[in-house]
Structure 1
């Protein structure tokens, strides 16, 4: 098991290096340093001297990968890639194009992102599993048919619609919660109720339909029929036997998503005014701050790899028969 984890970590490092390199190439293939300078200064009709001055101040006056003006190792180290992207491999996010400390911003915005993501994740997972078990309990009945129709309708609607409709209904018409905002301490609960509710509803259709398919596949296996033949109640069969044996595919999506909770929600945080990492990324994209975008892409990739490793390890906890050699 230890060798397996170490091997996966080694693969993860190689993947992170590839993501870092590919992201750098894509960003600078779209926007050259001159384009970035003109955009930051404020237009196309700027002097060449102003462009060069901006590039020197922000460290974009060097070649991208190879500096033919330098000798020895400096031919590789005196480049934009080495100075701006290589530090990401040691999780040194550096500074944004406007001079802000990216690491400090991530630490400050991680809390609001987790305050929204954790209750949405836990409550959404619980609601989806319970709703799916309810449909399996009433399988082949009108309740099951109606529930499937509701799931299809829910997953057919864009998540943006839930946000706009929720703000209109609960904030404008009913005035139960505020539109958006953020405060320190326990006062944030009133600002989190609506985005958490919207997050649960937006994922309920797709996840419940997926879990229902998993549970139905397990419901007709021999061990379930044996449990019913022993006289166990349907609730005991569903929760003690069926749910436990269906946990492996559920863990694939849930455990691997846990580290990504730190990244927040791009759309929800922007619409509800939550100063988390999601809105931080959206603001960086709008401002064409490639340093922040590269840092967030790299951080998201690293967290996703950690999540996949955690999912593999969790298999052995749920099913002791699973072993990695």
Structure 2
């Protein structure tokens, strides 16, 4: 087990190195950079001022030279300073990732509580009206674009009914403190959590249903039924426990994504998380933050994959990680 983990960490290091090279090259080849963004439309800006700004932000360096300087800073524990936020990238990410977490975590829990039971019910009542209804709802959730569904919720609950905030993290011009502030922020997160939950349950539900159907067709399930066990014991004691093995690995792989943010959803609802900040950084050509957030997400993805593999070996002792 430990040899497998060490080897995966070693491979992950080279994967991150390759990702950083590709991302940095793509950013530098983009048609818009930070200096052109902040100077465009200003007739008082001279070419000399632009050249000085390019020199200041390191945009005059070639791609290999710029990447070498960035990598040298990373080796020393410095991800650079965000052009837009004017703060170290590590501090920006560490402060904003908790906004993303508190938006994603409730959606993650709700997806588990809704999708897994629906998947089990759909599998045990295959080709019934219940199965068709659950499958239709799941497919609708998977097919809806997040921006479209978010706009519908905003129109209904914010503009028509007026019971939920349209966007933002807290009510403007009101200084809540303590528990009142927590309630206000929770009220603002209801709509984005609904978006993430509805759009996320479809895939998990279908995955649970497919695995449940495979288990229900196994020989030991038919043997359990032939012994006279009740259907509840057959489904929940024998079939469901074995269905959880691959599902646990999927859920383990989703955990690091709680900190990575949801770029489109955060942008629509004005949640100042990692994803929303990354969207603004992409628009303005903020190279340090784009690189830092991309490597942060890539690292979380590798950790999630590793945790998923380890969990599979934990929940199923028959699996040996080599």
TM-score of the pair, normalised by structure 2: 0.89
User: Where has structure 1 moved over 4 Å in runs of 4 or more?
Assistant: 43-46
Q: Give the aligned partner of residue 47 of structure 1.
A: 46
Contact 1:260/1:303 (8 A) holds in 2: yes
Q: Give the aligned partner of residue 239 of structure 1.
A: 236
1:161–1:237 distance in 2 versus 1, CA, 3 Å: farther
Q: Give the aligned partner of residue 70 of structure 2.
A: 84
Q: Give the aligned partner of residue 285 of structure 1.
A: 282
- In structure 2, runs of 5+ residues without a counterpart are 171-180
- Inter-partner Cα distance in structure 2 for 1:63 and 1:196: 43
Q: Give the aligned partner of residue 95 of structure 1.
A: 81
Q: Give the aligned partner of residue 7 of structure 1.
A: 7
How far the C-alpha of 1:207 sits from its partner, in A, is 2.5
Residue 104 in structure 1 maps to residue 91 in structure 2: yes
How far the C-alpha of 1:104 sits from its partner, in A, is 1.4
The aligned length equals: 310
- In structure 1, runs of 5+ residues without a counterpart are 66-78
CA deviation profile, 1:168-203 (whole Å, cap 9, x unmatched): 112222223211221353431111222112211122
Moved more, 269-278 or 183-192: 183-192
Q: Mapping of 1:162-311 within 5 angstroms?
A: 162-183=149-170, 184-311=181-308
- Inter-partner Cα distance in structure 1 for 2:30 and 2:238: 54
- Inter-partner Cα distance in structure 2 for 1:197 and 1:171: 14
TM-score of the pair, normalised by structure 1: 0.88
What is the root-mean-square deviation of aligned Cα atoms in Å?
A: 2.1
Contact 2:27/2:285 (8 A) holds in 1: no
Q: Mapping of 1:129-168 within 5 angstroms?
A: 129-168=116-155
Contact 2:257/2:301 (8 A) holds in 1: yes
Contact 1:16/1:89 (8 A) holds in 2: no
- Inter-partner Cα distance in structure 1 for 2:245 and 2:93: 33
How far the C-alpha of 1:156 sits from its partner, in A, is 2.4
Q: Give the aligned partner of residue 76 of structure 1.
A: none
Moved more, 21-30 or 182-191: 182-191
1:153–1:39 distance in 2 versus 1, CA, 3 Å: closer
How far the C-alpha of 1:110 sits from its partner, in A, is 1.4
Moved more, 87-96 or 50-59: 87-96
Q: Give the aligned partner of residue 35 of structure 2.
A: 37
